[in-house]
A and B are shown apart, each in its own frame.
Chain A
Amino acid sequence: MTGNIFSEILNYLQNNWSTLLLLTVEHIGMVICGLLLALIVGIPFGILAARSEKAGSVILALANVIQVFPSLALLALLMVFFGIGFTSVVIGLFLYSLLPIIRNTYVGLKEVDKSITEAGKGVGMTAFQLLVKVQIPLALSFILSGIRIAAIIAIGVATLAPFIGGEGLGKEIYSGINLRDPVKIYVSAVLAALIAILADFLLGKAQKRARVD
């Protein structure tokens, strides 16, 4: 029986590899768009949060609120506002990626030893120069760890995209459920998991490289 499923899976892969490849690319594309938006918005907010206690508590609380929304419910809500398809999915992924990126930027910057920045401050470097040249490089490993968490969450959430008219590997899972076709489900689920593992591995490596002892 297991041998049977094995050959069925191989067969399926042979016949559908081009569709699967397209879905994989779409899946990764949605995740990257969402993550990039989250980086553009999240890092400045993380910096702001680290600079001012007041702003920090508000920003982190808001990002937390977004995170507690169930993913399917959040996507459904977004669909109401932004319509069916790609845009809603990317906004959903963006929102889900915000918290880990903001929080890790915040924590990373807070972890930088104040006395190290003082050395720069003492010779007349501006706050911005210190941020770019000293604080962000020293916080980079934390920030990358935030991106790593965000990427893994986003790859998972992106499988829900077809519910609101998006593309990606979720489409194949969804159709597998409808057709009661376990092979379809196995293949697409394993592919989504592999993408997540790969992202985890690569970002983990980058994180290690960025670490400063």
Chain B
Amino acid sequence: MIEFRQVDKYYGNFHVLQNINLTISEGEVVVIIGPSGSGKSTLLRCINHLEKISSGELIVDNINVHDRKTNLNVLRQEIGMVFQHFNLYPHMTVLENITLAPMKVRKIAREEAQKTARYYLEKVGLAHKADAYPNELSGGQQQRVAIARGLTMQPKIMLFDEPTSALDPEMIGEVLEVMKSLAREGMTMVVVTHEMGFAKEVADRVVFMDHGQVVEESEPKAFFESPKEERARSFLSRLLNH
């Protein structure tokens, strides 16, 4: 579903992504962890071309993302993204937020788009907030709306960029619950997070990044109990000591 082949990316002289080789199959839940500045978010943002790669190949849903001929907007329809700061449209109600892309990009009729939107709102437990504005919702609620917004496009892949990092601790659980149920339903998910509990529980694979490199890739149990690489070990021990 997603394949990085020798992908490199530079910001000026800064080598953000170094020779990334990573394959993610359909239905897989991959959690990317690592210290801040290790290139996790950049890696994620390359998948829907919010960031450009400098060299190498990136194939998503059989489309070469960084080929000039690729129609990005067609590719992006199939990829939902949830951001750290929710990024809801502040001038629109929850329902309008969710139906905008389906109506504009997929050209779905308003009625049908609203029906689908309500279905997913129900799913994230916020059916009663359809007519509220984002600033009337808590952070956890906003993030659940953002997830419903992504799902209403019925994407093949969902990307999560630190979805719980901007939330108060008591709201993290509600967002993770939604993500867990999504994972159980077989959605292909790539999640950048610091929530190790989530990684242990639902990830099929953990990818550990440091200094722009994929340092270690393994099953969560193996990774957390006996990391192979020294850098991964020291990262985990720092987490535990906090």
Contact = CB atoms under 8 A, between A and B. Distances in A.
B50 A123 contact: no
Most buried by A among B74, B83, B88: B83
Contacts, number: 67
A53 interface: no
Interface residues of B, number: 28
Given A124-B74, A126-B73, A119 B89 contact: yes
B48 A125 contact: no
Contacts of B83: 115, 118-119
A113 B91 CA distance: 13
Interface in B91-147: 91, 100-101, 104-105, 135, 146
A122 B83 CA distance: 10
Interface size class, chain A:
10 to 19
A120 B50 contact: no
A121 B101 CA distance: 10
Contacts of A118: 50, 83, 87
A212 B104 contact: no
Q: Secondary structure of the A side of the interface? A: helix
A135 to B, nearest CB: 10
A19 interface: no
Nearest to A115: B87
Contact of B104 (A133, A137, A138): A133
A134 B100 CA distance: 10
Nearest to A117: B87
B209 interface: no
B87 A116 contact: yes
28 contacts: A115-B83, A115-B87, A116-B87, A116-B88, A118-B83, A118-B87, A119-B87, A119-B88, A119-B89, A119-B149, A120-B101, A122-B48, A122-B79, A123-B76, A123-B101, A124-B73, A124-B74, A124-B75, A125-B73, A125-B100, A125-B105, A126-B73, A133-B89, A133-B100, A137-B91, A138-B91, A212-B91, A213-B135
Interface of A: 113, 115-116, 118-126, 129, 133-134, 137-138, 212-213
